[in-house]
Amino acid sequence: MRALQLLDNRSLAVVDLPDAPSPAPGEVTVAIGAVALNHIDVWGWRGMAFAKRKLPIVIGAEAAGTVIAVGADVSMKPGQVVALFGAETCGKCAACLDGRDNFCENVAGIRGFHVDGLARERITLPARLVVAAPEGVSVVEAACAPITYGTVEHMLFDNAHLEYGQTVLIQAGGSGIGTAAIQLAKAVGATVITTVSTEDKAAKAKALGADHVINYKEDRFEGVVRKLTKKQGVDVVFEHVGPDTFAQSMFCLKRGGTLVTCGSTTGVSTESDPIAFATAFLSLGLPLAVSTAAATSKSASDGPSC
Ligand SMILES: [Zn+2]
């Protein structure tokens, strides 16, 4: 079968690989119909010195397809549209048994980055790593769910507990993960403030439902957030930009607010001011929470958490 392989940094080729094996008990074979492109694919293609992996590797961290064969003890049926989990987890550790594969203690790695990925015609894998798409969802639509929407769901709702009536600052509303965050935050009735770099992206963010759009090239977003929230700050900050925004993002939080992050597209390190945070938050005896989405999640991250 054909597969798209990374032979060396910045060198991709379509290659011929042995076909996927017949499914063993507990496994399914899926005909891949669509593969999504994420930032981690770009990092993987470009090469990252600290990533532990051996080339060549089949690329593709996020994909969907159609079930074509099932092993014993599998309830799925051939023909079902499914999305595939983007990491190879053990299925045996406490986290996996609890349904939180993103915290697997023995994870082999992210598909397409550390271990062979999903840009291939067929794959056989454990049924527990395959999620059936709801009726009416196409293969192409399902292919962008596991990483992009899964990460956002994990960040906004599992970790930050964003609720109806709260306010969230979503950084980079024109990005893939930013657009997903706007949609999911609006779906629960939150007020969305988002940042963009161009008028074109501002129009798109508004079309997705964002309540307030800040062009950060024209205005300091932290100042606008302060005005919009009447100096209160937001309940949740959705970060993934990193050094360009991180410190200011922290100061957009209200007392007791939560910052969640899953990546750092503008660099690898940033400075923060713990004294200022302590003055602003902790001296008031109010909790300040920061959490990160796990890299290999049902929600696998699009950040450089490798
Ligand atoms: Zn595990």
pLDDT at 191: 98
Residues 237-266 as b or e (16 or more Cβ within 10 Å = b): bbbbbbebbbebbbbbbbeebbbbbbbbbe
In sequence order, what are the residues at sequence separation of 6 or more whose Cβ sits closer than 8 angstroms to the Cβ of residue 201?
Answer: 173, 174
Q: How far is the CA of 295 from the centre of ligand 1 (A)?
A: 14
Sequence-ordered strand ranges (E) for 49-190? 57-58, 63-70, 81-84, 87-88, 109-110, 122-126, 130-132, 167-170
* pLDDT tens by residue, the chain, 306 residues: 999 999 999 999 999 999 999 999 999 999 999 999 988 899 899 987 777 788 999 999 999 999 999 999 999 999 999 999 999 999 999 999 998 888 999 999 999 999 999 999 999 999 999 999 999 999 999 999 999 999 999 999 999 999 999 999 999 999 999 999 999 999 999 999 999 999 999 999 999 999 999 999 999 999 999 999 999 999 999 999 888 888 899 889 998 899 999 878 788 777 777 777 666 665 444 555 666 554 433 333 333 333
Alpha carbon distance 75, 290 (integer Å): 39
Q: How far is the CA of 256 from the centre of ligand 1 (A)?
A: 32
Q: How far is the CA of 89 from the centre of ligand 1 (A)?
A: 5
pLDDT at 287: 52
Q: How far is the CA of 53 from the centre of ligand 1 (A)?
A: 20
Q: How far is the CA of 140 from the centre of ligand 1 (A)?
A: 28
Alpha carbon distance 19, 64 (integer Å): 18
Contact at 8 Å (CB) between 37 and 90? Answer: no
Q: Name all domains of the chain by residue range, CATH numbers in brackets.
A: 2-143 (3.90.180.10), 150-292 (3.40.50.720)
